[in-house]
Structure 1
Amino acid sequence: MPPVILVTGGARSGKSSHAEARTRALPGAPVYIATARPSDDEMRARIARHIADRGAGWDTVEEPFDLVGALDRTDGRGPRLVDCLTLWLSNLMFDGRDWEPQAAALTGALARQASPVVLVSNEVGMGIVPDNALARDFRDAQGWLNQRVAQVADEVEFVVSGLPLRVK
């Protein structure tokens, strides 16, 4: 079976660049599955920076909601990098969609992939308890999503200050 690799860490920890390197090291032409939505100027600038940082050679698929469909459609084309689960989850929650069946579908899809998958996700539960219900709901959901994906992943890495620590 091809590997499923989860790369997690805090904001600006270096997890995306580490995940990109891991994906490029796998055989085949890499596919970048982007979950970000260019909803404002700041997010468009972030997306542009990610595109510039990763450079040429990536086939990019933009999919803010149907991550399982994107994985299934790109299976067999080479290793896939999903960047990131955190934005995917926030897209679902802000759109009023029930994220839990989507998470179950994702873990099921990861188990059937023929090509490797590297997933990036933020670790959001190491800070203070948020002061509002929506932020607490998101923090909790992100933690549960990360746990579910980590369970099915072959490898889990936690990136701190640009340095990966192998967890699984």
Structure 2
Amino acid sequence: MATITFITGGARSGKSCFAQRLAENQSEKPIYLATARIWDEDFAQRVKRHQDDRNERWQTVEEEKELSKHDFSGETVLLDCITLWLTNYFHDSGYQLNNALDAAKAEWKKFVEQEINLIVVSNELGMGVHPENEMARKFADLQGWMNQFIAAQADTVYLMVSGIDIKIK
């Protein structure tokens, strides 16, 4: 079973930077598990910025959905991030909340069966403005429920606020 460190917080709260430092302190050769799809040029630039933040110590594995198909046994893995991973499930399910949640939970259960040191980054969407449209509200629900699911299994949970890590579990 995976040892899970879960890091959540708002946009630009310092989650990825904190997670990267943790991984580098725990492994000489950490693995960066990137879950993003490149939707547009702005997003491509965001991905590039994250890539530039990592040095040659890092191995990058790109996987939009099927995390469990990779064998990371014995490794330190930084999964960045749950929000983008869930976006892929939500989009591919035709924006069906329950289908996306069920599929993501099933995949997560298979993934964490591995003996890995897993550092997970996610977004805390429920602390912001209430979404104005139905699809955004459904996604906020999806994100919140998946965060709860992962945090319940996590050994350690951090909340990031303005670049400051607060250990909450």
Q: Same fold (TM over 0.5)?
A: yes
Q: What are the Cα deviations for residues 101-144 of structure 1, in whole angstroms up to 9, with x where unaligned? A: 23322442354221200000000001221110000000011000
Q: Which amino acid aligns with 2:26?
A: L
Q: Which amino acid aligns with 1:152?
A: Q
Contact 1:29–1:58 (8 Å) recurs in 2: yes
Give 1:102-121 correspondences, 5 Å limit: 102-109=103-110, 111-121=112-122
Give 1:54-69 correspondences, 5 Å limit: 54-69=54-69
Q: Which amino acid aligns with 1:86?
A: T
- What 5-or-longer segments of structure 1 have no aligned partner? none
Contact 1:4–1:116 (8 Å) recurs in 2: yes
2:91: which partner in 1? Answer: 94
CA distance in 2, matches of 1:7, 1:107: 16
Q: SS of the counterpart of 1:101? A: helix
Q: SS of the counterpart of 1:54? A: coil
Q: SS of the counterpart of 1:112? A: coil
Q: Which moved more, 1:123-132 or 1:21-30?
A: 21-30
Contact 2:13–2:160 (8 Å) recurs in 1: yes
CA distance in 1, matches of 2:41, 2:100: 27
CA distance in 1, matches of 2:108, 2:64: 17
CA distance in 2, matches of 1:19, 1:6: 9
TM-score (norm 1): 0.91
TM-score (norm 2): 0.90
CA distance in 2, matches of 1:82, 1:90: 14
1:80: which partner in 2? Answer: 77
Aligned residues: 165
CA distance in 1, matches of 2:48, 2:81: 15
Across the aligned residues of Structure 1 and Structure 2, the Cα RMSD in angstroms comes to 1.6
Q: Which runs of 4+ in 1 moved over 4 A?
A: none
Q: Which moved more, 1:121-130 or 1:103-112?
A: 103-112
Give 1:116-135 correspondences, 5 Å limit: 116-135=117-136
Give 1:155-166 correspondences, 5 Å limit: 155-166=156-167
